[in-house]
Chain A
Amino acid sequence: MQKKIFEAKDIVIKFNLRGKTLTAIRGASIDLYHGETLAIVGESGSGKSVFTKSFIGMLDKNGWVESGSMVMDGVDFSKYKTEKEWLAVRGKKIAMVFQDPMTSLNPVKTVGEQIREVITWHFGVKKAEARKQAVELLRQVGIPEPELRYKQYPHQFSGGMRQRVVIAIAIACRPRILICDEPTTALDVTVQAQILELVKKLQKELDMSVIYITHDLGVVANVADRVAVMYAGQIVEYGLSCEIFKDSRHPYTKALLRSLPQLGVRGQDLHSIKGSPPNLYKQITGDAFAPRNPNAMKIDYLYEPPFFKVSDTHYAKTWLLSEQAADYCRQMEQQEEAEDPIPAPPTDFSAAEKLVQVKGLTVNFKLGRGQFSAVKNVSFDIHRGETLSLVGESGSGKTTIGKAILKICHASGGDILYKGKSIVGRLSSHEMTEFRKNVQMIFQDPMASLNERAKVEYIISEGLYNFRLFENNKDRQEKTARAMRSVGLLPEYVTRFPHEFSGGQRQRIGIARALVIEPEFIVADEPISALDVSIRAQVINLMNRLKRERGLTYLFIAHDLSTVRFISDRIAVMYKGQMVELAEAEELFAHPLHPYTNALLQAAPVPDPDIERNKKVVVYDPSVHDYADDPPIWTEIRPGHFIRANRAELDAYKKHLEK
């Protein structure tokens, strides 16, 4: 084993929040070895960010380290009080990269200045010398033309480039530990893969240890040597990456891995973790995960389990590993073997009625004096009863298409037909009512999509009021209660305000609001991307169940191909406002033709360390197409498989398909 360079032991962190004390970290310990990559996994509220922020003394001002020790080079940081003491640690020994590159850079200073400042501050070198070093750093993090970029402002950089700058600032003082707090969550999948590569490269060059904080198990599989799983302010399991992914022991880790949409089986419910993480204001007794674990033992509710050893490197905090639980474990294993889901064959909807037809849709936005086409000449149909997924990176125009279909955003060209009737342009009041009643939307951000100042009762009955879908007040209340129950919430909760619910619960309230008026067609704009892994499965299962029960049709918008695989009947890939490929879901995964689809598929992280390790990052370069003399056309290359390509490319693709 390598040398241990950092050790945090029994850390307890408390916060004073609105007059109450909450315990965010309840005795978490972690070791970090020289040169390794450790990933801390957990959902929001598990305390993973707070835990690592305490290593560099950057807790919010209402929080403090109650007890425990953090030792590096024989010095215990946990006793540090003043900013001055911390300055010796921050940046020099431990540096941090934050989630959002937009907020961690100063918008009114050039990027180069910001790096130079850090160098001058810490090393006290001359300006010219620091400048040289800053340019060198920019080169090191893979920014082309660093001399030129040095003089530019953050807004002139793309999201991925900005994150590279943030990394450059973090490594400016040659830290020995780099903490990356969800470094790629705000980025597109293809950019994410590049950033992960970069951190790996820098880690080797600078001989650093890296701590990743993430909720994305795909990222973990890609980067981590060791993994620690956090739940409710405690580390519940830690071990080598392959041990965690292949042989997890804690029920929470197991459930987390099983609930990934990537592992979903068509036609079956995704394994889901019910409920939400515990409230840290309350005293937690026993195993914090027990209330959400259907197979919890009686002891889990009474006593907190100690760490049990699985192997020299793998420990888990669960009573299941106790010798006394051996019988119970055997029972559970037998139970699990009994269930073996068989994937349902994909359903062919092509014979069904065309519910929505999009013909040559173009959407332009004014941009300064010019114009910007968010969507260029896109055509597709959605058949009744199917789920069509639109996949693409941010800025690809996928949300704009959804909004144009909902008539929230105007269409500049082309036509959209709903049940054979055009909805572009003015509709009569009657037609509009009919349309609004049948087409609804589910939003991405459950925090922003509910009116904070209205009770859930009003939010859900809003549609009922608007379309007069109730006879009297009692009828309305019954309908609201039914909607609440159908999304798995207690009807009594209608008297509460949205802020009293967790993210997943809020998302389900949003779904109830859309469903109470019984629409036929739903545009779901990234409904799961803002949710925690354990909550995602709940929402996906709910949407699938509603589809089965009510024959709903979905337009599902997502940025990650792998998560939509098992819920979609067909998938369309968007790139810069154009649709590049459209095919039946399994067909697209089996025979991706367009280079961009390939890049997306490659970039999507897979929660399996063996696959992730040997992956090559493919960067899509639009200049591979030679469209100067031979413009591309939207062609059906196989029945149901459409692609945007020119004649030469089509021939190549056809040959590829024959092989």
Chain B
Amino acid sequence: MDENKNLAPETLPQELFSKAEFHEELLEETGFSNYSYWRSTIRTFFKSNVVKVIVALVLIMLAYTVIYPMVTDRDPYTASLSAKEWNLPSSREHPFGTDGVGRDIWARVWFGTRTSLLLSVAVAVFEVGLGVIIGALWGFYRKLDTVMFAIYNTLTNVPSTIYLVLIAYIMKPSVFTIIIALVATGWIREARWFRSRILALREADYNIASICLKTPARRIISRNVVPHLVSLIIMDAALTIPASIGSEVFLSYIGVGLPADLCTLGNLVNQGRSAFLVYPFQMIFPTLILCFIMVSFYIIGNKFADASDPKNHL
């Protein structure tokens, strides 16, 4: 622009005032936009420093829970017969101390975190997976409304604690039982939530276009509807993880959780509780880890929900 201001019009060569070549095919390039939903979502997500720190910490913790049990020679289940090893405070040898039978709490916490995380990831996958599939069908076929609402009302009006306890009581206490118990109570809420999302997408013009083209409902759901919900599914799964860890702790607390000899965060907190008045650290250390996991997953889930909203893509 500046360059052109310095040019006196008279100095322009006359040759330039003639017809230029016209490139029709290049024209369409101009409408091109560089917006990409996923790239923008991820950039918005990592804009906040809190998220950067938490994601880094969670990754370190995850790596540690995976690597630690593989490299350590310490067995979290070996009790010590010597009373000298019992209820030790934290030291170099035992960073979190030892419990009433001389087991190393540091090792138990990391083994427990691993079990609890695996359990909650399994719950999240099954619960959200089931919820998406059933919710998609529910949202798409109006006829299912009567049946599904009957199930929904029954399942949600009775407190979920009762099912949890019942299922956990009937079946043998094991990781598998807990997963079934948690998924059985949680899926309906997910399904309902996805149903409402799908109802909003159902009437979109591109779905009507697909109906005009006689696209089968199965493909409309899998190609037109569910891909729009991927970010919601991720966010929902991230929020289900802390919730199911919390439920596991609760079940262990009321005594119908995993077998008491298995290392889980629930069992650790519960066992630490019995010695809390005398040796508070036995409960505080596992609880701190528990709190960290819960809070960080909640923050990640919520921040991701914000980032996945195109309104925040600036």
Binding site for B on A (CB under 8 A): 16-20, 26-27, 60-62, 274-279, 281, 290-304, 306, 319, 322-325, 327-328, 406, 408, 432-433, 436-437, 439-441, 443-445, 448-454, 458, 462-463, 465-467, 488-490, 493, 497, 499-502, 504-505, 510, 513-514, 517
Contacts and interface: CB of A to CB of B under 8 A. Distances in A.
The bracket for how many chain B residues form the interface is: 35 or more
A279 B32 contact: yes
Interface stretch (B4-12, B93-101, B178-186): B4-12
8 contacts: A20-B34, A276-B28, A278-B30, A298-B16, A298-B17, A324-B12, A489-B28, A499-B35
A231 to B, nearest CB: 13
Listed from nearest, the 10 A-B pairs whose CB atoms lie closest are A275-B27, A502-B31, A276-B31, A453-B227, A299-B16, A449-B205, A436-B214, A448-B205, A451-B206, A303-B4
Interface of B: 1, 3-5, 7, 9, 12, 14-20, 22-28, 30-37, 40, 43, 204-206, 208-216, 223-224, 227-228, 313-314
Given A277-B30, A303-B7, A433 B209 contact: no
A295 B224 contact: no
A458 B223 contact: yes
B114 to A, nearest CB: 35
A274 B22 CA distance: 11
A332 B5 CA distance: 27
A304 to B, nearest CB: 5
A279 B16 CA distance: 25
B212 A441 contact: yes
A566 to B, nearest CB: 24
A301 B17 contact: no
Contacts of B19: 295-298, 328
A236 B9 CA distance: 18
B127 to A, nearest CB: 24
A490 B213 contact: no
B205 A445 contact: yes
B21 to A, nearest CB: 9
Given A433-B214, A451-B223, A291 B23 contact: yes
B30 A291 contact: yes
A322 B13 CA distance: 12
A449 B12 contact: no
Contacts of B228: 452-453
Contacts of A517: 213
Nearest to B4: A303
B139 to A, nearest CB: 17
Contacts of B214: 432-433, 436-437, 466-467
Nearest to B226: A453
B287 to A, nearest CB: 41
Given A408-B208, A466-B214, A451 B34 contact: no
Contacts of A294: 22
A294 B26 CA distance: 12
B20 A490 contact: no
Contacts of B206: 448-451
Given A279-B30, A298-B16, A324-B17, A18 B227 contact: no
